[in-house]
Amino acid sequence: MSDEQQQNAAVLLAREMGLTDAAIERRQKIVGLEPADLVRIAAIRDIVLPRAEAYTDGFFGHLSSLEEARTLLSSKPLLGKARQLKAEHLAALVSGEYGSRYVLQRIQLGLLYAAARLDTRVFLGAFHHLLHDIGADIIRHSTGDADERFEQFMSLKKVAFFDIGIIVDVLVFERERVIRQQQEAIRELSTPVLQIRDRLLLLPIIGVIDTHRARLITESLLVAIRENRAKAVVMDVTGVAAIDSKVANHIMQTVSAARLMGAAVIVTGISSAVAQSLVALGIEMTKMTTVGDLQGGLEEAEQMLGLRVVSDGDALKFEAR
């Protein structure tokens, strides 16, 4: 990935994570960053800047001693980029500017860690090591009394914790991305509306029905009813493991919406366990047509539409073909 692409990815992610200027300001407030801190950080700038190279070495030196960071360390391009970003980070850390530009740099570094599958705890360990190095130098070389030096270090630590907040969020967000993509895929895949006869639709429902999915199912069914001019719909819930009052309500809403468009809905595949729990919950589904299994539902629907399936009485013909 080129530099520009990486920057674009960071901008995109900042938007996805909702890191607006207001959110960044809020994060600064959370760590307690104040104007007085900026003054103290300015005072230690000349201590940190010349040693940036050494700190970077220390950071990656610590990582190289850890088995968990091998992916990052073993990839030359990743490591090179990470070192470059880390050096930029150290310069920015004492710059006194912690706005959107700074946050974008942090996100870029976070994305790189995510790409190298660096765990949060490994990152935290290395970061702590880095802070220790900087802190030791501040205590050793800074002007002012011991209290002042401690305060200088604490001011820097506020920025450091601000950084940690962003990096950890990026790492978690990236890890959850896979989950979000899978959820999206499940949602898209699992609401097919199939036409199986002229004016007869089949709606197989598999998995968990939540409010969002129920809405998608209903919407796609209604659109399909209009497009296919359907008069009957067989909704098969064999694949729905549990039906509680909420899910039952969703199903009933779908049925009534389809009815408003002039299509009759037959619900099939309510297992004995589900039926018993519906009865135990006192959920009445009396307004709906229900048939035991999918086959029965299809037969019922065919009858409704005036269709008749006739066997030609020669089952062997199929084999001969």
Partner 1 sequence: MAATILKQGSVLIASIQAALSDRELIELRDAFAERVGRFRSRGVIVDVTALDVLDSFATRTLRDIAYTAKLRGATAVVVGIQPDVAFAMVQLGLSLDGILTALDLEEGMSLLSGIEEDRRRAR
Q: Which residues have CB under 8 Å from 142's CB, separation 6+?
A: 43, 44, 47, 148, 149, 152
188 or 219: CB nearest partner 1: 219
Q: What dihedral angle (degrees, nearest 10) is formed by the CA atoms of 66, 71, 74, 77?
A: -130
Least distance CB 9 / partner 1 (angstroms) = 37
171 or 230: CB nearest partner 1: 230
Q: How many CB atoms lie within 10 A of CB 136?
A: 11
181 or 303: CB nearest partner 1: 303
Least distance CB 222 / partner 1 (angstroms) = 3
86 or 250: CB nearest partner 1: 250
136 or 223: CB nearest partner 1: 223
Binding-site ranges for partner 1 (CB under 8 A) = 215, 218-219, 222-223, 225-226, 229-231, 253-254, 256-263, 287
Classify the C-alpha dihedral 116-121-122-125 as positive or negative. Answer: positive
Query: Is the Cβ–Cβ distance between 263 and 225 less than 8 Å?
Result: yes
Least distance CB 254 / partner 1 (angstroms) = 8
User: What element of type H or E holds 264?
Assistant: strand 264-268
Q: DSSP 3-state assignment of 205? A: strand
Query: Is the Cβ–Cβ distance between 152 and 131 less than 8 Å?
Result: no
128 or 226: CB nearest partner 1: 226
Least distance CB 225 / partner 1 (angstroms) = 7
Least distance CB 196 / partner 1 (angstroms) = 18
Query: Is the Cβ–Cβ distance between 131 and 29 less than 8 Å?
Result: no
Cα(105)–Cα(11) distance, integer angstroms:
10
Cβ-count burial of 155 within 10 angstroms (0-12 exposed, 13-18 middle, 19+ buried)? Answer: buried
Least distance CB 257 / partner 1 (angstroms) = 4
